Amino acid sequence: MTHLAFFEPRIAGNTGSAIRLAAATGATLHLIEPLGFDLSEPKLRRAGLDYHDLAHVVVHPGLGAFLAAAPQSRVFAFTTHATSRHTDVEYLEDDVLLFGPEPTGLPPEVLAHPRITGQVRIPMLAGRRSLNLANAASIATYEAWRQRDFDGVR
């Protein structure tokens, strides 16, 4: 299954939407602390609706702890500064799709981390700053899942 990782997310609603995404696709959602909200916030619960029990969500105390938990996984950092597109990657089952916090994205020290396999971007029209985090995560997760012929679907 795909691993979707949010590095220091700030907006509860986006994380709630990602919980729903994880439940719908079978991806594991990894939240890397510190979080900009409490996991019991009503906005998070509302955005995730009744999918919380159907999603696999893991909270990690920092980037190092997360990477230690996925020692063999390739890690693709999503950033608007990348030259490669997210569709250029041939995704494998245990790949990590790593996204940064709203509104700053992944910091340079994360992008330069030796465990980062590659940096990729989701194409947008010129002059646009970025996509909503939950929308970008959905685009990437479904592309990785599509490439594996939607494994797990009856």
Q: What percent of the chain has pLDDT over 90?
A: 80
pLDDT digit string, tens, across residues 74-93: 999 999 999 999 999 999 99
The contacts of residue 135 (CB under 8 Å, 6+ apart) are none
Residue 46 has a pLDDT of 63
Q: Does pLDDT of 55 surpass 60? A: yes
Q: Does pLDDT of 50 surpass 90? A: no
Residue 13 has a pLDDT of 87
Residue 45 has a pLDDT of 63
Q: Does pLDDT of 61 surpass 80? A: yes
pLDDT digit string, tens, across residues 115-142: 999 999 999 999 988 899 999 999 999 9
Fold exhibited by the domain 3-147: Alpha/beta knot (3.40.1280)
pLDDT digit string, tens, across residues 7-47: 999 998 899 899 999 999 999 999 999 999 888 767 666 65
Q: What percent of the chain has pLDDT over 70?
A: 94
Query: Would you list the domain boundaries of the chain?
Result: 3-147
